C-alpha cells in the first residue's frame, strides 16, 4: 500500500504530519523556469533600443576586451621591483617605471620593496604595557636569556637590519621570511654567545659578537636561498639576569680597579725604568771618560818625564836648577807671603838689606778692612 492511499497516515485522519499540517494539494504551484527566462529576455529587449542590436553588442564586447588589455599596465615604484607571474609561475623581474603584462588571470605582478631596510627586534617588544616603562620596550625573557661558554646566563637584546636581495627567492623559496629571519637570528646569537665567556660579552667583545652573528646569519640564509641580505646586527642590551646583576656589577668594579692599578704600575715602571737606564748609561759614560782621561794624562806625564829625564842626562846641573825653580814657582805662586833669600841679599852690592824693597800691601789692607758704619742723621747730641 503506498503512502498516498492512506487517509492521513499513522498520526490520524486527514493530511497532517507529526509536526503540524502537511502539504496541501490545493496550494500554489511553483513557477516555471523556462517561462521566467523568457520573460527576462523580453524585458531586456524592451530596455535596449531597437537600433542597439548585434552591432551594439559587438561594440560593447570590443570595449570590454580593450579595457581588459589596458588593465595589464602597471607602475613599479623606485623602491620596488616587479615580479611577473604567469598562471602562478615565475616569469621575470621588471624594473621601476611603467610596465606591461598580460592581464589577469593570465599574468599577475608582485612588487616587493627591495631597497627598504627592515628591522626585527629580538628579546624586546614595543607593546601596550611598554608605556609603563621609561625605555618604551617590553622585555621578552624567552628570547633574550642565553647560556654563555662558561655556563653563565646573560640577557641579550639585539636588532637585525635586513633587506631583500633577490625578489624571486624571497617570494617563492621561504614561506614566512620574517619568521625565518627571526629564528635564524636567535639561533645564531645563541651559538655565538655559547662560544664566548661572559666577561668579554659584558665588556669589549660586542663588535666581534655582532660581526660573528651577521656572518653566521648570512651563511644560513644563503643556504636557504631566502633572497635576504643582513646589513647589520646591533646589540641593544647585554646584562646579567636581574637577580644577580648587583653581584656582577661588584665583580665588574673590582676588575676595573684591578686594571686601573695594573695600568698605574705599568705607567710607573715605564717612567722609572728609562730614568734608571739613563742614569746607568750616564755613570758608565762618565767612568769611561774618566778612564780615558786618566790614561791619557798618565801617558802624557810619562812622556813628559821621559823628555825631562833626557834633558837631565844632557845637563844635570842646569836641569836640576830649572826643576827646582819651576817647582817653587808652582808651589809659591798662589801664596800671599814673600820669602826673601838672605844669602842672595848679602851677596848684593853694599851688603845689608839693600836688595830688598819693602812693599806696603794696600790692596790687601783695604780688602780686609770692614765697611764703615753709617750713623743715621738726627741722633742724640
Q: What is the CATH number of the domain that holds 235?
A: 3.30.479.30
pLDDT of res. 215: 92
- Distances in Å between the Cα of 225 and the Cα atoms of 80, 171, 183 are 20, 11, 15
Buried b (16+ CB within 10 A) or exposed e, 287-301: eeeeeeeeeeeeeee
User: Is the residue at 40 inside a domain?
Assistant: no
pLDDT exceeds cutoff 70 at 178 = yes
Mean pLDDT across the chain: 76
More confident residue, 173 or 40: 173
Q: Is 12 within the bounds of a domain?
A: no
Can you give the pLDDT at residue 161?
A: 92
Residue-wise DSSP of 14-40:
SSEETTEE---TTSPPPPPHHHHHHHH
Q: What is the DSSP letter of 194?
A: H
Last residue of a domain, one of 187, 220, 243: 243
Residue 262 lies in a domain: no
185 and 160 in contact (C-beta within 8 Å)? Answer: yes
Residues 82 and 178 in one domain: no
What are the tens digits of pLDDT across the range 120-137?
998 888 764 544 444 567
- 125 vs 373, residue with greater confidence: 125
Least confident range of 124-138, 140-154, 230-244, 269-283: 124-138
User: Are 238 and 140 in a shared domain?
Assistant: yes
> How far apart are alpha carbons 37 and 243 in whole angstroms?
80
pLDDT the model gives residue 136: 67
Is 176 found in the same domain as 72?
no
Q: End of a domain among 243, 261, 285?
A: 243
Q: Do the beta carbons of residue 218 and residue 230 sit within 8 Å?
A: yes
In a domain, 157, yes or no: yes
Pair 87, 202 in one domain: no
The domain of 78 spans: 67-110
What's the pLDDT tens digit per position in 73-100?
777 777 777 788 887 777 777 787 777 7
| Cell of residue 324, nine digits | 827646582
Residue 174: strand, helix, or coil: coil
* Rounded Cα–Cα distance for residues 216 and 266 (Å): 39
Total count of domains within the chain: 2
Considering the domain architecture, whether residues 146 and 186 belong to the same structural domain is answered as: yes
Read off the pLDDT of residues 330-339 as tens digits, 9 standing for 90 and up.
Answer: 887 776 666 6
Both 122 and 239 in a single domain? yes
- 372 pLDDT more than 90: no
DSSP assignment letter at 113? B
Examine residue 235 and state whether it is found in any structural domain, yes or no: yes
Residue-level pLDDT at 248: 73
Tell me, what's the pLDDT at 75? 78
The answer to whether 152 and 240 are in contact (CB under 8 A) is yes
- Tell me how far apart the alpha carbons of residues 287 and 65 are, in angstroms, rounded to a whole number: 113
- Hey, is 283 helix, strand or coil? helix
Q: Are 134 and 201 in contact (CB under 8 A)?
A: no
**Do 100 and 143 belong together in one domain?**
no
284 domain residue, yes or no:
no
Task: Tell whether 225 is covered by a domain.
Answer: yes
Task: Flag whether 380 is in a domain.
Answer: no
Q: Among 243, 278, 313, which residue terminates a domain?
A: 243
Amino acid at each position: 500500500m503506498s503512502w498516498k492511499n492512506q487517509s492521513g497516515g499513522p498520526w490520524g485522519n486527514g493530511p497532517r504530519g507529526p509536526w503540524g499540517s502537511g502539504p496541501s494539494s490545493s496550494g500554489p504551484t511553483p513557477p516555471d523556469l523556462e517561462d521566467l527566462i523568457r520573460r527576462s529576455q523580453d524585458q531586456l529587449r524592451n530596455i535596449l533600443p531597437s537600433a542597439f542590436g548585434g552591432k551594439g553588442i559587438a561594440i560593447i564586447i570590443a570595449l570590454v576586451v580593450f579595457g581588459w588589455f589596458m588593465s595589464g599596465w602597471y607602475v613599479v615604484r623606485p623602491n620596488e621591483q616587479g615580479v611577473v607571474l604567469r598562471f602562478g609561475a615565475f616569469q621575470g623581474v621588471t624594473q621601476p617605471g611603467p610596465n606591461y603584462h598580460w592581464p589577469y588571470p593570465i599574468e599577475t605582478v608582485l612588487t616587493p620593496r627591495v631597497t627598504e631596510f627592515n628591522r626585527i627586534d629580538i628579546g624586546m617588544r614595543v607593546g601596550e604595557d611598554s608605556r609603563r616603562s621609561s625605555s618604551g620596550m617590553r622585555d621578552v625573557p624567552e628570547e633574550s636569556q642565553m647560556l654563555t661558554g662558561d655556563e653563565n646566563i646573560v640577557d641579550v637584546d639585539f636588532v637585525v637590519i635586513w633587506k631583500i636581495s633577490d625578489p624571486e627567492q624571497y617570494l617563492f623559496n621561504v614561506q614566512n621570511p620574517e619568521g625565518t629571519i627571526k629564528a635564524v637570528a636567535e639561533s645564531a646569537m645563541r651559538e655565538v654567545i655559547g662560544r664566548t665567556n661572559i666577561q668579554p660579552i659584558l665588556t669589549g667583545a660586542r663588535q666581534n659578537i655582532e660581526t660573528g652573528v651577521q656572518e653566521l646569519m648570512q651563511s644560513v640564509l644563503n643556504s636557504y636561498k631566502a633572497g635576504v641580505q643582513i646589513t647589520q646586527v646591533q646589540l641593544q642590551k647585554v646584562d646579567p639576569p636581574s637577580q644577580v646583576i648587583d653581584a656582577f656589577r661588584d665583580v665588574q668594579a673590582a676588575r676595573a680597579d684591578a686594571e686601573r692599578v695594573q695600568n698605574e704600575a705599568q705607567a710607573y715602571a715605564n717612567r722609572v725604568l728609562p730614568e734608571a737606564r739613563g742614569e746607568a748609561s750616564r755613570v758608565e759614560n762618565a767612568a769611561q771618560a774618566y778612564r780615558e782621561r786618566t790614561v791619557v794624562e798618565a801617558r802624557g806625564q810619562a812622556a813628559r818625564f821621559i823628555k825631562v829625564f833626557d834633558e837631565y842626562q844632557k845637563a844635570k846641573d842646569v836641569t836640576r836648577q830649572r826643576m827646582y825653580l819651576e817647582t817653587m814657582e808652582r808651589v809659591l805662586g798662589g801664596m800671599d807671603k814673600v820669602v826673601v833669600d838672605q844669602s842672595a841679599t848679602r851677596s848684593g852690592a853694599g851688603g845689608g838689606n839693600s836688595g830688598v824693597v819693602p812693599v806696603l800691601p794696600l790692596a790687601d789692607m783695604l780688602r780686609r778692612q770692614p765697611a764703615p758704619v753709617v750713623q743715621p742723621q738726627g741722633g742724640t747730641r
